[in-house]
A and B are shown apart, each in its own frame.
Chain A
Amino acid sequence: MRLNTIEFLLQQSWEGVVRNGLVSLAAVANIAVALVVLGAIVLTGVNLQHMASLQAEAAVITVDLEDEADTAEIQAALLGRQQVKEAKFVGKDESLLKWAERIGLELPEPDPDRRVKLITELLGGNPLPDSLCVKPVDPQDIPAIAAEAKKIPGVAEVRYGEQVTEKLLTLARGTKISGLVMGLIMGAATLLIIGTTIRLTIYARRREIRIMQLVGATNWFIRIPFLLEGVFQGLAGALIAIIILLPAYSYAQGYIDRNLEFINLVYSTEVLAIFAFGLVACGLVFGAAGSALSLRRYLRVV
């Protein structure tokens, strides 16, 4: 493409934005609103996902062993499975200490060994078995691993926070799916809005288009300024959305940190940079796609 053609096209698109100032402004505002909503959904989804995975990561399977079981063999059998990340031996004494702590048993002894002895005496023996603490690679596999572990000889019982884990996993999956669906709906809405706006612009400039067609401009030549106009609008909308979302998110993060300590929001610069980049990319794609869609109808020749 020749340089003066590029210059002409850029000038045409810019003129389009300026001349149809109000319509352009409406388009930019619409895109910004759509992207803010879309971005908010994405941020919420990312955080729910993040929380779910944090919880799920903490999820472990406790494999209780029979008294005479070969610990090393069972450990090896579990670690032989690809889904298992870790299988740590937890002795019955350690379990006893943890249990005592959990129920808030107050003992005057600071030394762990003596404490164990004291509790054992109190209870007349340690009722707890030795166990293995198994961590999965993917929390989704917990039920499967548990089922397999039960079959290993020497395993007395397998326990995991069945209900909690499964609920969390369902929540994580649900967030993924509903986020995707919402995202798609918002995406389609944004596309429609941009398409309508560009159609208005095209309508406002139909005379010019007609003249261009009559003096022999190719369809691409006519399209490019409108496409660029859509891209400009998409870009501007995305920038506004970022300017609104990032400070709002940062504010929300500060508030939640202060007041709701048990919630951990994602706050890595990297993630937010990717997010901002994604918004800009969405704006660009929506802008271009929206105008392309409405142009297709308008520029059809015999």
Chain B
Amino acid sequence: MIHLQQVSVVYPNGTRALSNVDLHIERGEFAFITGASGSGKSTLLALVYRDIAPTEGKVIVDGQDIAKLPPRRVPYLRRKVSVVFQDFRLLPDKTIWENVGFALDVLGASRREKHHKVPLTLELVGLSSKAEDYPRELSAGEQQRVCIARSLVNMPPVLLADEPTGNLDPDMSWEIVQLLADIAGQGTTVVMATHDKRIVDRMGRRVVQLVQGMMVRDAKEGGRYDAP
């Protein structure tokens, strides 16, 4: 599903964010990207949703090399690759229902389609009862679930999560990660960047570790946060 081949990213200011990364993630897989702040986790995800282009190498998503994707094609890639952030990024003056429906609005979905998909997605993340609430009335964990619902509502094959538990307490974090694992279980490819050691160890899934932009470890099933 996601293939990075010899990818390097050098920012305009000369910072080398990634060096010669080779990474292959299959359809329906759940993978952690770990590493300290500034190790290149966010850059790696940004490559996949084409917020940045690689300086060198290929980024293939769903069979398409997106390294040289023209800007006007980027929106269509984003419909296949959705992203969840640490800071939720919900619209404060829209209800939960509207926030989730917003992702369908911008794709020109019909009212009927919205009324079918939004409740379904809210149910999936366990927020059916909060549909008419506003983001500020929800706990941080609930807000993150709204954000996940918004990412899932148009059923993208890839879901990226950049430190989705960064603002959450351990219990909430665990719930969110469980939710993401469930989503992966239904066939969506999920890649989560994190530096939450407890979660990574408890999940025991694939772990890709970055140190200063270099991929130093790729532990398949049963991965731990620290190298054994």
Contact with A along B78-99 (1 / 0, CB 8 A): 1100110000010101000000
In the bound complex, CA of A302 to CA of B49 (Å): 11
Q: Are A302 and B78 interface neighbours, CB within 8 A?
A: no
User: B106: which A residues are within 8 A, CB to CB?
Assistant: 8, 212, 215-217, 221
Interface members, chain B 59-110 (any A CB < 8 Å): 71-72, 74-79, 82-83, 89, 91, 93, 102-103, 105-110
Answer whether A211 and B51 are a contact pair too, CB < 8 Å, given A4-B108, A19-B93: no
Answer whether A2 and B52 are a contact pair too, CB < 8 Å, given A213-B75, A215-B82, A216-B76: no
B50 is an interface residue with CB less than 8 A from chain A: yes
Interface members, chain A 207-263 (any B CB < 8 Å): 207-208, 210-219, 221
Number of interface residues of B (CB under 8 A): 30
In the bound complex, CA of A49 to CA of B73 (Å): 54
In the bound complex, CA of A301 to CA of B77 (Å): 13
Q: Are B78 and A213 interface neighbours, CB within 8 A?
A: yes
Minimum C-beta distance from A158 to chain B (A): 69
A5 is an interface residue with CB less than 8 A from chain B: yes
Out of A8, A218, A300, A302, name the residue touching B105 (CB < 8 Å): A8
Q: Are A211 and B91 interface neighbours, CB within 8 A?
A: yes
Contact with A along B21-35 (1 / 0, CB 8 A): 000000000000000
Out of A5, A208, A218, A300, name the residue touching B91 (CB < 8 Å): A208
In the complex formed, the residue of A with least CB distance to B108 is: A5
In the complex formed, the residue of A with least CB distance to B112 is: A4
Minimum C-beta distance from B216 to chain A (A): 27
Q: Are A217 and B109 interface neighbours, CB within 8 A?
A: no
User: A213: which B residues are within 8 A, CB to CB?
Assistant: 75, 78
Q: Are B107 and A217 interface neighbours, CB within 8 A?
A: yes
In the complex formed, the residue of B with least CB distance to A208 is: B91
Minimum C-beta distance from A226 to chain B (A): 14
Q: Are A302 and B71 interface neighbours, CB within 8 A?
A: yes
Out of A4, A214, A218, name the residue touching B72 (CB < 8 Å): A218
User: A212: which B residues are within 8 A, CB to CB?
Assistant: 106
User: B78: which A residues are within 8 A, CB to CB?
Assistant: 213-216
In the bound complex, CA of A8 to CA of B98 (Å): 12
Q: Are A215 and B102 interface neighbours, CB within 8 A?
A: yes
User: B72: which A residues are within 8 A, CB to CB?
Assistant: 218-219
Q: Are A302 and B52 interface neighbours, CB within 8 A?
A: yes
B116 is an interface residue with CB less than 8 A from chain A: no
In the bound complex, CA of A214 to CA of B89 (Å): 10
Q: Are A216 and B75 interface neighbours, CB within 8 A?
A: yes
Answer whether A302 and B75 are a contact pair too, CB < 8 Å, given A214-B82, A221-B106: no
In the bound complex, CA of A219 to CA of B78 (Å): 12
User: B192: which A residues are within 8 A, CB to CB?
Assistant: none
Answer whether A215 and B103 are a contact pair too, CB < 8 Å, given A5-B108, A19-B93, A301-B74: yes
Q: Are A4 and B50 interface neighbours, CB within 8 A?
A: no
In the bound complex, CA of A143 to CA of B111 (Å): 74
In the complex formed, the residue of A with least CB distance to B49 is: A214
Q: Are A302 and B150 interface neighbours, CB within 8 A?
A: no
In the complex formed, the residue of B with least CB distance to A207 is: B89
B53 is an interface residue with CB less than 8 A from chain A: yes
Minimum C-beta distance from B110 to chain A (A): 6
In the bound complex, CA of A85 to CA of B102 (Å): 70
In the complex formed, the residue of B with least CB distance to A222 is: B106
Minimum C-beta distance from A9 to chain B (A): 9
In the complex formed, the residue of A with least CB distance to B83 is: A214
In the bound complex, CA of A211 to CA of B93 (Å): 14
In the bound complex, CA of A1 to CA of B108 (Å): 9
In the bound complex, CA of A213 to CA of B51 (Å): 10
Q: Are B109 and A4 interface neighbours, CB within 8 A?
A: yes
Q: Are A211 and B75 interface neighbours, CB within 8 A?
A: no
Answer whether A218 and B52 are a contact pair too, CB < 8 Å, given A8-B105, A211-B91: no
Contact with B along A267-295 (1 / 0, CB 8 A): 00000000000000000000000000000
In the complex formed, the residue of A with least CB distance to B77 is: A216
- Could you list some 18 contacts between A and B, CB below 8 A? A4-B109, A4-B110, A8-B105, A8-B108, A19-B93, A210-B89, A211-B89, A211-B91, A211-B102, A215-B150, A216-B76, A216-B103, A217-B75, A217-B107, A219-B71, A221-B106, A300-B71, A302-B51
Residues of B at the A interface (CB closer than 8 Å) are: 49-53, 71-72, 74-79, 82-83, 89, 91, 93, 102-103, 105-111, 150-151, 154
6 nearest A-B residue pairs (beta carbon): A217-B106, A216-B78, A216-B79, A5-B108, A215-B103, A301-B71
Known: A216-B107, A302-B71. 19 other contacts (CB 8 A): A4-B108, A207-B89, A212-B106, A215-B78, A215-B82, A215-B102, A215-B103, A215-B107, A215-B150, A215-B151, A216-B76, A216-B106, A217-B75, A217-B107, A218-B72, A219-B75, A300-B71, A302-B50, A302-B52
